Amino acid sequence: MKEDSEELKRELIDAAKNWLAIDGLWFLEIEKRYGLDIALECDIAAWKEFSRIEAERIMNRLSLPPCGGLESLETALNHRLFSLLNTYEIRKPMPGVMELFMTTCRTHVARERKGLPLFPCKTIGIIDYEIFAHTIDPGIEVECIACPPDPLVRSYHCGWRFTIAR
């Protein structure tokens, strides 16, 4: 059985890499043809839908309760596709607060490798995390701690704070 679970994990990681590759390839093609602003508009529209869909599917698959607070959000974040590809740290500095720090971002590493400028993902990140978190629990508030285009003068690519007043 252990061998099967290791093979399944390898397949999931490969599928996540394929998901990220198609996301990146279509974005680069739109950016090349129409410029960064249009590519970002298209990306935002896609992430508005995808974030909700991914959260709903994770909630259904794991039987997470509606309005499950930060506990459900943490569980769901650990089951997102990015969790198979990026390294991140979740901290709980105080009750009702959870922070996520992406320490290695595969997208930024790939853009760096290709000689492309830092991807300004803050706007998309805000939309993604707000929709994802609000799908898990509408009472969760989302705040960007730092994210490109903010200068990378920190030990993480992006940081997000989730709070709930319950």
pLDDT in tens, 56-80: 999 999 999 999 999 999 999 999 9
pTM for this one?
0.90
Q: How confident is the model at residue 109 (pLDDT cuts 50, 70, 90)?
A: confident
User: Is the predicted pLDDT of residue 101 greater than 90, yes or no?
Assistant: yes
Structure tokens belonging to residue 110 = 């790939």
For residue 2, name the pLDDT band (cuts at 50, 70, 90): low
Output the six-digit token pair for 142: 């989302």
Could you report the per-residue pLDDT of 47-59, keeping only the tens digit for each? 999 999 999 999 9
Q: How many domains does the chain have?
A: 1
Q: Which domain range does residue 22 map to?
A: 2-164
Task: Specify the DSSP element, H or E, that contains 165.
Answer: none
Query: Residue 154 is part of a domain; what is its CATH number?
Result: 3.30.1380
Distances (CA, A) of 17 to 25, 57, 95, 149: 12, 19, 34, 24
Residue 68, pLDDT score: 96
Sort 51 into a burial class: Cβ within 10 Å, 0-12 / 13-18 / 19+: buried
Average pLDDT over residues 132-154: 93
Distance CA 164, CA 166 (A): 6
| CA gap 43, 27 in Å, rounded | 7
